[in-house]
Structure 1
Amino acid sequence: MNQIQVQEIECLLALAEELHFGRTAARLGCSQSRVSQLIAALERRVGVRLVDRTSRRVELTRFGAQFVAEVRPAYGTLATVVAHAQERARRGALCQLRIGFHGSVYEEVTEAFRQLRARHGVTMALSEIPLGSPFSAVLDGRLDAAVVELPVREAALTVGFRFPPQDRLLAVASSHPLAASGAGRVPVEELAGLDIVHPTGDAPDYWMVARVPRATPAGAPIRSTAGISTVQEGLALVASGEHAMLVCRPLAERATRGDVRYLAVDGLDEPSQLGLIWRTDRAAPQLTVLARLLHEEFTRVRIPDQLVV
């Protein structure tokens, strides 16, 4: 915008109302010469005269009147945004949290979100993040926090809340021999005979290995040739009969479909556990409140609001 200064716009809008350089100067708390300088600078940037001034009167030119009519709403919007930001800064708070998640958001989580809005006036902006990129959007500031699978060993991230651990199940096609047996369970060593899908993305190696182990407890290698970026992609590959997928029990309960069966895995000791994470250097008070509300929902123990930090 040719480096137009906000102070120049403010001066023109005040002059348009006062139509007097002396009164405009008094309103802005500056000298009349400063008002003249600001208007002249704005006219140079715009490239047209905006104000006609004689010894007897001050008025906007036709271009000036049109410019004021067009710029006043935009300036009002900018002033409102700045005022809201100042208010949030004064309270040390955000009015909205940007939260990322994988797959789906459980009822307990949405209830915590509802409580955060009802009790603290904080809303949520939710977005699904790629399955294999659990940390990137939080680390680069695109999200304030995310609900992702643990472990998290990044020094820049804080795990504000750990969800209750959940069993991991094996998803296979309903036509798969393991499902056809009717046992509903499978020994962990059977994983070596499957092709298990894995997340694709920029997650660290330790996180990827936690999703799909490279070997069974007895040391048999586990094959994983297909990558996925969403849970639904994984389920579609499973249903085709060529692949299997390790999932947590809550996901299995919410993603029921006729062409996929979920089997308990005997001997798979590592459970699945979600965590609410945020950048340690951007630990807004609302994130601490959200962690507390999640604790309330999963333990059904109400913590008094005055204990919020």
Structure 2
Amino acid sequence: MNQIQVQEIECLLVLAEELHFGRTADRLGCSQSRVSQLVAGLERRIGVRLVDRTSRRVALSRFGTQFVEEVRPAYEGLAATVARARERARSGTLSRLRIGFHGSIYEEVIEAFRRLREHHEVALELTEIPLGSPFTAVLGGRVDAALVELPVGEPTLTTGFRFPPQEQLLAVAARHPLAAADRVHIEQLAELDILHPLGDAPDYWRAARVPPTTPGGAAIRSTTGITTVQEGLALVAAGDHGMLVCRPLTERAARDDVRYVGIEGFDSTSQLGLVWCRDRESRQLGTLAELLADEFARPPGGRTASG
């Protein structure tokens, strides 16, 4: 729409509230004749009378009433968009989301971030959070949301998007006896010292990362904590430690001194989630969740490369 069409619609909406040409002119800061011109121009464009005028009263016609009902939401949405743009122009910044993450970020996530910025004008501030403290930053308000491993049992948190579940593998040193096998049995985890995330995570979350026992009841030893994935891989490569990792990480963290083997009889999977506080939910977070769902719904060949 050009400028005069927007003025015509604005004039009709005000007239629909006032039902008086003089009061409408006062609100718009123009003359009564200008109000008449704008209404008449809109009626010519649409091809139907929108306002019934007599010497005693002003009323919307049946067509005018329906048109006002249909056009008002669109006009108000346009006005709100313009107001937000002006506010951003005054402040010199875009809307911003602070996102915490641990580990690596999938290409699909980067693409969702790109679309959020380019199509929804939301900038992102990324902060890596400790591997074993998945919820502290978001609960404390230091980030607006976090990409963390599930489960989430905190009553004040909600999961806006769940990533596809991923198979878990065992990372061992290339020189370790288990490195020669394609798969190991879950009971063999009791032969290793499995690294665990170090931090203030709740017990239920820790148990999901490193089970305390095998299905057969053998204790799984875990004496050493780590704060990052890279720290864990270095410890695995240097000694007799093992580490449970998800398959996508193995594709992004290939090392000559580390081998990744499957685990027979292990029905646990790794799954990430986009998590935020229930009382701090926002339109921007909802949009990000929708973009992530869209990216992961596409077949691999149809996904857009990250930019």
Match of 2:296 among 298, 305, 309: 298
- Kept after mapping to 2: 8 A contact 1:98/1:143: yes
CA distance in 1, matches of 2:273, 2:215: 26
Scaled by the length of structure 1, what TM-score is found?
Answer: 0.66
Selected match of 2:251 from 243, 250, 253: 253
1:274 maps to 272
Q: Secondary structure at the match of 1:172?
A: strand
Name the CA distance, whole Å, in 1 between partners of 2:134 and 2:86: 32
2-structure distance, mates of 1:112, 1:154: 26
Aligned to 2:190: 192
Describe how 1:1-16 pairs up with structure 2 within 5 A: none
Cα distance in 2 for residues equivalent to 1:220 and 1:238: 22
What amino acid is the match of 1:187? H
Residues of 2 paired with 1:219 and 1:236: CA distance? 29
Cα deviation, residue 270, structure 1: 1.0
Give the letter for the 2:286 counterpart.
T
Please list every run of 5 or more consecutive structure 2 residues that lacks an aligned counterpart in the other structure.
Answer: 1-82, 89-93, 300-307
2:114 is matched with which residue? 114
- The 3-state SS of whatever aligns with 2:110 is helix
Q: CA deviation at 1:244?
A: 0.5
- The code of the aligned residue for 1:145 comes to A
CA shift for structure 1 position 87 = 4.0
Q: Does the 8 Å CA contact 1:175/1:241 hold for their aligned counterparts?
A: no
Distance 1:299 1:152 in 2: 23
Q: Are the aligned partners of 1:97 and 1:144 in contact in 2 as well (CA < 8 Å)?
A: yes
Instruction: Tell me the CA shift for residue 141 of structure 1.
Output: 0.3
The change in CA–CA distance for 1:203 and 1:125 in structure 2 (over 3 A counts) is same
Q: How does 1:209-288 map to 2 (within 5 A)?
A: 209-288=207-286
1:157 paired residue number = 157
- Say which SS state the counterpart of residue 100 (structure 1) adopts: strand
Note the aligned Cα RMSD (angstroms).
1.7
Report the secondary structure of 2:266's partner residue.
coil
Task: Give me the whole-angstrom Cα distance separating, in 2, the residues matched to 1:165 and 1:246.
Answer: 15
Equivalent residue, structure 2, for 1:95? 95
Aligned residue type for 1:193: E
Cα distance in 1, alignment partners of residues 240 and 199 from structure 2? 22
**How many residues were matched structurally?**
212
In the alignment, which residue of structure 2 is the partner of 1:138? Answer: 138
Partner Cα separation in structure 2 for residue 87 and residue 213 of structure 1: 51
Question: Within 2, Cα distance between the matches of 1:206 and 1:116?
Answer: 33
5+ residue gaps, structure 1: 1-82, 89-93, 302-309
2:269 is paired with a residue of what secondary structure?
coil
**Secondary structure of 1:117's match?**
helix
Distance 2:246 2:133 in 1: 18
How far apart, in 2, do the equivalents of 1:106 and 1:271 lie? 17
C-alpha displacement of 1:86: 9.9
Q: 1:87 to 1:146 in 2, by over 3 A?
A: same
Q: Counterpart of 1:173 in structure 2: which amino acid?
A: A
Could you state the TM-score of these two structures normalised by the residue count of structure 2?
Answer: 0.67
Q: State the AA in 2 paired with 1:252.
A: T
Encode CA deviations 1:33-79: one digit per residue, 9 max, x unaligned: xxxxxxxxxxxxxxxxxxxxxxxxxxxxxxxxxxxxxxxxxxxxxxx
The residue correspondences of 1:78-93 to structure 2 (distance < 5 A) are 87=87
Q: What residue in structure 2 maps to residue 104 of structure 1?
A: 104
Query: Could you tell me how far 1:118 is from its partner in structure 2?
Result: 1.1
Equivalent of residue 287 in structure 2, options 286, 289, 309: 289
How far the C-alpha of 1:84 sits from its partner, in A, is 8.3
1:241 CA displacement: 2.4
Measured after TM superposition, the shift of residue 300 of structure 1 is 1.9
What percent identity do the matched residue pairs reach?
68
Structure 1 residue 85 displacement after superposition: 12
SS in structure 1 at match of 2:143:
coil
Secondary structure of the structure 2 residue equivalent to 1:124: strand
- Tell me how far apart the structure 1 counterparts of residues 179 and 159 of structure 2 sit (CA, whole Å): 37
* Deviation beyond 3 Å, 4+ runs, structure 1: 83-88
Provide the C-alpha distance between the structure 1 equivalents of 2:298 and 2:84, rounded to a whole number of angstroms.
34
Change in 2 beyond 3 A, CA 1:87/1:279: farther
Deviation track 1:204-227 (CA, whole Å, cap 9, x = no partner) reads 000001000000011100000100
Aligned partner of residue 125 in structure 2, secondary structure: strand
Contact 1:163 1:275 in 2 (8 A): yes
